[in-house]
Amino acid sequence: MVVTFKNLSADQSNTYGLVLSSAGISHRTRKGELGWNILVNDTEYQKALNTIERYLIENQDFYPSDKPFSHEYHKTFTGLWVCGILLASHLAITIGNNSRVFIIAYGSSAFHILHGELYRSVTSLMIHANALHLAGNILGIAVFGTAVCTITGWGVGWLMILVTGIAGNIMNAVLYQAGHLSVGASTAVFGALGILAAQQFSKKFRLPGQRMKAWLPLGAGLALLSILGSGEHTDLMAHLFGFMAGIILGAIYGLLVKRPAARAYQACFLLIALSVLTMSWIMAFGHG
């Protein structure tokens, strides 16, 4: 069974339990640290969400509250797939090829990006200087990327992370103008960290007595940036721009989105992200 509704009051827990029972959905209620949690079977997870959401919509006049209905995704293994894609890309580039040629041809070159080769802001995310560089980014993607997707969903999450990586590389190109080249997924990794920091900030800032603590995630992100943001073919400013893009995108998501998109929409957003990657490489090889 999975936790479907978290931190409910006793009245909410009893009401939700009655609604679920009337819909024939088996569930369990447990006391958590911050309130009551309701667990349902994996196979009835989406049905339970839809049932409670429909109930709240139909009875919203009886529950005048500014608190939006929301829930979190609790399971996603897409981080492993993304790590696999990065590993496969690195092996395809390094086995039988001169990786330096790929770095020059498809890396995030400030000059070339500003002269129309925008695909470099995407292709550079999948190129790494060496195995150590790759391993660090795979670890970052596995941890921070998966964490983002537990909040936003696996389609929206990866599209947001990809957008932060692209935005970070483009902003970096605008800063340097020329004479700068970098590669690696770390810009997107710090973008994911920025999304998480923005989410935690917005959640804690609204709580009485938590506003000072709300700044801790932002400070932690900047600390990680200073520790992990250097190395061969990496760039501190690109990481900073990715982190900033993540904060902006995470804040917008927190303000506009009340709950994660349904699975069908998640699939659409994931398809958009994959399409951006595919088209960028098609353009890159076509230009070459």
Structural domain boundaries in the chain: 2-62, 78-287
Cα Rg of the chain (Å, integer): 21
Write down the CATH superfamily of domain 78-287.
Rhomboid-like (1.20.1540.10)
- 2-62 fold: Alpha-Beta Plaits (3.30.70)
pLDDT of residue 225: 65
CA distance 117 to 106: 9
- Dihedral through CA 178, CA 181, CA 186, CA 191, nearest 10? 20
pLDDT single digits (tens) 110-120: 999 999 999 99
3 state DSSP class of 106 = helix
By the 8 A CB rule, do 267 and 154 touch?
no
pLDDT single digits (tens) 133-191: 899 899 999 999 999 998 898 999 999 999 999 999 999 999 999 989 989 999 999 99
Q: What pTM was estimated for this model as a whole?
A: 0.72
pLDDT of residue 22: 85
